[in-house]
Amino acid sequence: MSTGDVQALVLAGAGTIACAALALRDLLAPVRLAADTEGLTVISGYAGRRRIPWSQITGLRIDERRRLFLHTRLLEIETEDDLHMLSAFDLGADVHDVQTELDSIRADA
């Protein structure tokens, strides 16, 4: 084996491990956002969770951007000290639908 082959093999192995780590995270923490009348639970770190009471949420909005042929929408949950950004893939639903539901739950709280 030449040096280039070994380097390519190491690089491919590292990429495989990184992909496996991301897949494992999706298995360990498939739910990125949960809401009830007391507040939100969001993912924090690799697979941890953080509870945020409604009183600490300062903003709940959708960031929409268009660039070339891409159109991205992110649900932004702003707290006093942090910003959580979730895509439709993270939420498993359209971000507009999720925002409407969160606004409804927050109003009932």
Q: For residue 92, what pLDDT is reported?
A: 86
Q: Indicate whether 102 and 72 sit together in one domain.
A: yes
Q: Indicate whether 14 and 48 sit together in one domain.
A: no
Domain region containing 94 = 31-108
Q: Indicate whether 11 and 58 sit together in one domain.
A: no
- pLDDT beyond 90 at 49: no
Averaged pLDDT for residues 44-67: 89
- pLDDT beyond 90 at 60: yes
Cα angle value 101/22/16 (rounded, 5°): 155
**Structure confidence by residue, pLDDT tens digits, 85-97:** 999 988 889 999 9
Contact 103, 57 (CB under 8 A): no
- pLDDT beyond 80 at 1: no
* Residue 77: how many other CB atoms lie within 10 Å: 21
Q: Indicate whether 70 and 89 sit together in one domain.
A: yes
Q: For residue 24, what pLDDT is reported?
A: 79
Q: Indicate whether 19 and 41 sit together in one domain.
A: no
Q: Indicate whether 16 and 38 sit together in one domain.
A: no
Q: Indicate whether 18 and 61 sit together in one domain.
A: no
Q: Between the ranges 7-11, 45-49, 71-75, where is the mean pLDDT highest?
A: 71-75
In the chain, pLDDT over 90 holds for what percent of residues? 50
Q: Indicate whether 15 and 40 sit together in one domain.
A: no
Tell me the backbone φ, ψ of residue 95, rounded to 5 degrees. Answer: -65, -30
Averaged pLDDT for residues 13-25: 85
Residue 99 is encoded by which pair of tokens? 């925002």
- pTM listed for this prediction: 0.72
Give the 3-state secondary structure of 20-76.
HHHHHHHHHCCCCEEEECCEEEEEECCCEEEEEEHHHEEEEEEEEEEECCEEEEEEE
The amino acid present at 4, given as its one-letter code, is G
Return the CATH number at 76: 2.30.29
Q: Indicate whether 41 and 66 sit together in one domain.
A: yes
Q: Indicate whether 4 and 50 sit together in one domain.
A: no
Q: Indicate whether 65 and 101 sit together in one domain.
A: yes
